[in-house]
A and B are shown apart, each in its own frame.
Chain A
Amino acid sequence: MRFSALLRKELRECLPWMLLAAIVFLALGGFFLRVEIHYRNPSWYYSRLSPGTIVESSLFTYYSILGIMGPLLLLSSIGLGLVLGIRHFWIPNFTRTWPFLLHRSVSRKTILAAKLTATMIAFVISLGPVWIGLYWYACRPEVFPIPQTPRVFIEGWIFIMLGLVTYLGTALSGLNTAKWYTTKIFGLVFAALVIFTIFPQCSLVWIFTVIAVSAAILLSRIFDTFLRREF
């Protein structure tokens, strides 16, 4: 009951930002997707092919039509991670509501777990369904004749996970009581390093390993800092 009360409270704090991210991604993503579908119609895309000529191999490499949404999804995800991290861990430093929150009849671990769970739910239910919906839409033959690859779908979820990594980095920075010009921003810097390491890599195994290891590092640091920090 206590955990669910905390979770509800955290989710309600996330709610406006979740809705904003979902609406922005859906609206802009849907618009760009329609534009892309129109311009990338395979019927006339290959009209450059003509008899007796060498074909430039670049003609055969093809970004998915969902590629137009890639930067949007990445930015939405990272933006949501930043905003939620600030909301959960930076703003209470300014509003000084930490003592009220911490003096609950639950352990600090539970309070932190509620924040993290709320954020994961926020990501999954705000960006997840939109991404699934747009992917499903792009796969429909009447919309675009060639189905999308499962790999693109996985890559979209990787972008969403990068948003979670950003959130964890922001959280760690928010909990750090050092000066901003010393180690306070290291959490954010680490998250940025992880994102730069991911691009451009080929192996999904490598990417998931990097994300898992960096998330584990950030989570362990967040828990340790939150449990031992002075408020």
Chain B
Amino acid sequence: MKLKSNFKYIATPAKVFMTVLIVLVAVSILQGIILEIERTFRLSATIKPKAELTQEEKRLNRIRNSAKEFLPDGTIHLVYNLGYTPTRMGLPAREQIYDVNDDLLWEGPSDKRPFEYLSWAKQLRRYRDGFTREQMKQTQMITTEFSQNVRIPVRSDNKTEQIWRYHPGAKFFKGYNTSGEKIGYAGSTGFTDSKSKVKPFEEFRLFTAWCSQDSSNPTLLWQTQRHIYQIDFEKQQVKLIFENTEADIEIEGTSLHAWRDLKPGEKEYVDRRKYRPLLHCVTEDGKHHLLMRNPGRQLTITIPKAWQGWVNHYHRFTATKQGIFLSRTWTEFRKAPDYLQTREVLDRLLSDYQSKDKQRHVELYRLGTDGSLDLLTGYTWIVPARTGPVVRARDPRSAVQRGVAQFSSPLYDLAVRLLGRKFWLWAYSSRNMGDFFYSLARMIMDIQPYGGVINRILSALMMVFVFLHGWPRRTSWAKFAFWLVFAGLFNLAGLLTYLALNHTAVVKCPVCGRRRGLARFDCVRCRAELPAPERGKLDLILST
């Protein structure tokens, strides 16, 4: 009789799970290393010297790469940045300005430009002036230095007097003075000194912060699901700037222009004598909302259906004393609504797009008081077809990648099928679930066997190995069948797991002469037990 354990019913599946997990990771790492080595060699071999462009090609590229700027009267100029020269590092770049007939109007350093173009609302960008939901999530991530939190200071005479800390779980701010005492709470309805009275904000989406010209304390523009607030911690005020009951505000669709009271020379400074403060946001129902000041006004614009579905399509807004303007830019090339459905559809789109010359347009509209659009001017130029190899969504698999993927588990195909391609593309592209799942998604997509015949043959071959190894060692039919199926499902990782967990010794059966495992008392072939040794004639085995 062997030593017994009551834990084997949990421990045995746990052992199999642990081992297959580690073996899968090890096999995947090995596959990844092979792919990376292959990729490095492949990429370095495909680098080719750039072909010399013709004059016409250079001209078209110049037009294409020029910024299309509008003068207040609607005139369109093409501003081409010549870039920095090594001797002029630190000084403004040189630029050329052309008119729509491609005549050179001016050339010189960009800070000496003789024209003043319309400036437009700029989108709040993460890691620049926008703090997004992604970043807020990242503060919650546990690192070796623990997680972070968001704190807003209130200073006076160059000393910090208060700190307001945001609690993502509770969705409000708690304030402390420098003696460590709690001084209040800030929520959607304002500041309060009682926790029971504070009303939490909705789910956080975005914030931006600036110090006004008359203060060194930050003011926040705080965007949640359907509201935008302006919070001044120094004055302890929470103002509701925008509210939408019908749809959520898009996370990265908010733009500002002259909204923040910045000092001249600051990067995003806009002269408020010429422009009205403007906040532009887009809701998920496709509507554009404009909030303006001086005078205060809110406008909602529905973009015409005919404008939708074009490639590289975007809008910009600005509000001057003369009116509210919209700049629209798009390329005359339609993308199918399901273009992200599969990689093949996306590749076809990219291939079509890059292989043709396309027209690209920019237009200037004036907005009426009722949100109507009045076209003022426009300009069209050619985006030439791409010379050289087509850029793909993902490069087609190389022979090495296809070969390596044949050793992957067929279960990867099943996982992709069950969860759906959209899930994997989302996990792969958005990092929404954290780096671990991003890495997992990427790994599975890189080494997915895609139902290859060789993969299935290899799985069957692993089953054959398991059969040959396990047949003389089998202790029960259930276990034997389990490992056969296991090896088939997990391919190479399955075989390695099986070998790791089933390394029973074999001996030659003294009765039938064939190999038999020692995990059971009798021979699996002839059922004979191990025979006792022959008693020597001279042995002294005498009774007790």
Contacts and interface: CB of A to CB of B under 8 A. Distances in A.
B216 interface: yes
A85 B127 CA distance: 44
A202 B263 contact: no
B160 A46 contact: yes
Q: Which 6 pairs show the lowest CB-CB distances between chains A and B?
A: A141-B180, A52-B263, A224-B11, A67-B145, A200-B141, A57-B131
A158 B142 contact: yes
Nearest to A141: B180
Contacts of A63: 145-146, 148
14 contacts: A46-B160, A47-B158, A52-B266, A53-B210, A53-B263, A54-B266, A55-B211, A60-B131, A62-B150, A67-B145, A145-B178, A155-B147, A200-B434, A227-B6
A62 B212 contact: no
B146 A70 contact: yes
B498 to A, nearest CB: 12
B479 interface: no
Given A50-B216, A51-B212, A145 B176 contact: yes
Nearest to B178: A145
Contact of B211 (A51, A200, A229): A51
A66 B7 contact: no
A145 B153 CA distance: 12
Chain A interface mostly: helix
B418 to A, nearest CB: 21
A216 B10 CA distance: 9
Contacts, number: 206
Given A57-B130, A155-B142, 4 more contacts: A53-B262, A55-B211, A149-B165, A200-B141
A14 interface: no
Contacts of B214: 51
B15 interface: yes
A14 B282 CA distance: 62
B101 interface: no
A70 B153 CA distance: 25
Interface of A: 42-47, 49-58, 60-64, 66-68, 70-71, 74, 139-141, 144-147, 149, 151-152, 155-156, 158, 178, 182-183, 186, 189-190, 193, 196-202, 207, 216-217, 220-221, 223-225, 227-230
A50 B211 contact: yes
Contacts of A190: 18, 21-22
B119 interface: no
Contacts of B210: 53-55
Contacts of A189: 22
A141 B179 contact: yes
A40 to B, nearest CB: 11
Contacts of A49: 153, 155, 211, 216-218
B311 interface: no
Contacts of A227: 3-7
A146 B216 contact: no
Interface in B14-43: 14-15, 17-19, 21-22, 25
A149 B170 CA distance: 13
B97 to A, nearest CB: 28
B59 to A, nearest CB: 38
Contacts of A51: 211-216, 263
Contacts of A156: 146
A54 B4 contact: no
B158 A57 contact: no
B44 to A, nearest CB: 31
Contacts of A52: 211-213, 261-263, 266
B15 A46 contact: no
A224 B485 CA distance: 25
B8 interface: yes
Interface in B245-301: 260-263, 266-268
B348 interface: no
Nearest to B153: A46
B150 A60 contact: yes
Contacts of B127: 57-58
A146 B161 CA distance: 11
A217 B179 contact: no
A149 B211 CA distance: 27
Contacts of B367: none
A46 B163 CA distance: 11
A201 B141 contact: yes
Given A193-B21, A228-B3, A146 B129 contact: no
B176 A146 contact: yes
B142 A201 contact: yes
Interface string B128-161: 0111000101111111111111111101001110
